[in-house]
Amino acid sequence: MKLHSKDILGMKELTPGEILLILDTADSFAEVSTRDIKKVPTLRGKTIINLFYEASTRTRTSFELAAKRLSADAINISTSTSSVVKGETLIDTARTLEAMNPDIVVIRHSASGAPHLIARMVRHSVINGGDGFHEHPTQALLDMLTIRRRKGSLKGLEVAIIGDIAHSRVAHSNIHGLTRMGCRVTVCGPAPMIPRDVEKLGVSVTCNMEEAVRNRDVVMMLRIQFERHRASFPSIREYAKFYCLNEERLALANPGALVMHPGPINRGTEIAPDIADGMQSVILEQVTNGIAVRMALLYLLSGGSP
């Protein structure tokens, strides 16, 4: 089996079969990063470009490590050092990079749809590394891999996603991915942070965190992105009072419920420190699985089969 598209643009575009293919392939690559020699020659001579228009440690580093552990050549381009300062359009930058014969370009951009725009006009593969408020598919895939490794299967799990749903590309990608794989998803946050008509995506909605957490198998917290929309916010203290995941609230979830967060975390705002570092937290496993998922995607898009 192969992926039907040359690109990974969003969870919305992936079939359940493709998601399974990616997760299975990621499972088989996870072991590479635990070896003494963390490297396989699989993608030797391939060129992976990380084109990041937004700052990032974990996503860029994760893709770079995934590429290097597969022996590909990884090139980083970030806005601070790029000719973006010279006012080149995104499309011209993309076409210029295409002319350098990369195999895969990972794009992170503040504009929703930027990777899709690029993908349509270039021969090489494009991976969406996060676009505006739209999608962040590799995050959703690593989240799903993390849940599956812990719970055995995604099917029938009760998952709560809590925070600023409307402005979270992580939430959007997980809603598409988790519902597709048979999870029952409840989203929760202050009313202005819930997108209109989100129920049409097949999720339940509540503004009450206790209700959202009760009897869930997975509690996925979102990062409050102060740097993006500080203005539209009530006070942080107010937010934390109603939506911070603390011990009391987590106790409402099913025994052994997983606590997840895409990071970087705001300790004490969306998640209490003892919960972030606690027994039920799989936050660092998410990071570890991120490399495996990205290795799988680089491999599959390069024509590899499991």
The contact mask relative to its own copies for 227-266 (x = CB under 8 A, - = no) is x-----------------------------------xxxx
Instruction: Give whichever of 123 and 196 is closer to its own copies, judged by the CB atom.
Output: 123
Pull the structure tokens for residue 7.
Answer: 């690109």
**What are the residues facing 107 on neighbouring strands?**
51, 128
- Could you say which DSSP state residue 185 is in? E
Region 14-73 residues binding its own copies, contact defined as CB under 8 A: 33-39, 44-47, 49, 52, 55-58, 60-62, 64-65, 68-69, 73
Site string for its own copies, 178-217 (x = CB under 8 A): ----------------------------------------
- Alpha-carbon gap, residue 157 to 172, rounded angstroms: 18
* Separation of CA 164 from chain center: 15
Output DSSP code: residue 254.
Answer: P
Nearer of residues 20 and 75 to its own copies, judged by Cβ: 75
**Nearer residue to its own copies within complex by CB, 201 or 287:** 287
Report the residue from 9, 291, 293, 298 that binds its own copies according to the rule CB under 8 A: 291
- How far is it, in rounded angstroms, from Cα 268 to Cα 283? 15
On whether the CB atoms of residues 66 and 299 are closer than 8 A, the answer is no
**Contact mark string toward its own copies, 111..140, x via CB under 8 A:** ------------------------------
d(C-alpha 263, C-alpha 107), whole Å: 19
- How far is residue 35's CA from residue 185's CA, in Å, rounded to a whole number? 36
The H-or-E segment that residue 190 falls in is none
Residues that bind its own copies (CB under 8 A): 33-39, 44-47, 49, 52, 55-58, 60-62, 64-65, 68-69, 73, 75, 77-78, 80-89, 92-93, 95-101, 226-227, 263-267, 284-285, 287-288, 290-291
